[in-house]
Amino acid sequence: MTRNLWVFLAAGGSAALLAGAYIFQALGYPPCAMCLWQRWPHMVAVVIGLVALRVGGATLPLLGALAALTTALIGVYHTGVERGWWEGPASCSGQGGLDGLSGSDLLAIEGPRVVMCDQVSWEFLTLSMASWNALFSFALVIGWIIAARLSTR
């Protein structure tokens, strides 16, 4: 397999994970703050992939690997928060307050839906969306590294 095919697969994997996240959101599973944090590195990886398909070298695939590793590590952190292994951010965990909500939000009959980062809203085979993101993203790191190694040959 060629470098560009690995770049395409790795960037495409990030695009697929993003699409899955937005599909779940459309199906009624709104994201918490940490879920949104996991999306940004995928977006960066997709852009890196588009550029890397036009520009050779190992630098861009290594940056793609860094983006995939970033979202994987956020996914691991989020999984730990969900499972109670460690505390999450106060703004979206059980110990959080009402920061970010205005008086009108608090008085509204249908106020904003607060999604807690320490609550699992969906799981498959006992793994949450954050856990699946971490696993797939670690696989994408490997794909990016293979692309980088093929760039040096």
What are the residue ranges spanned by the domains of the chain?
A: 3-86+113-151
User: Could you tell me the mean pLDDT of each successive run of 10 residues in the chain, 153 residues long?
Assistant: 95 96 91 91 97 93 97 94 86 63 59 72 85 95 95 78
| Helix and strand element counts for the chain (H, E) | 5, 2
- Please report the beta strands in the chain, taking only residues with DSSP state E, as ranges in sequence order: 123-124, 127-128
Q: Report pLDDT for 91.
A: 79
The pTM for the full model equals 0.82
Structural tokens at position 36: 């949104």
Look at the domain 3-86+113-151 and name its fold.
Bromodomain-like (1.20.1550)
Q: Report pLDDT for 86.
A: 87
Question: How many residues in the chain?
Answer: 153
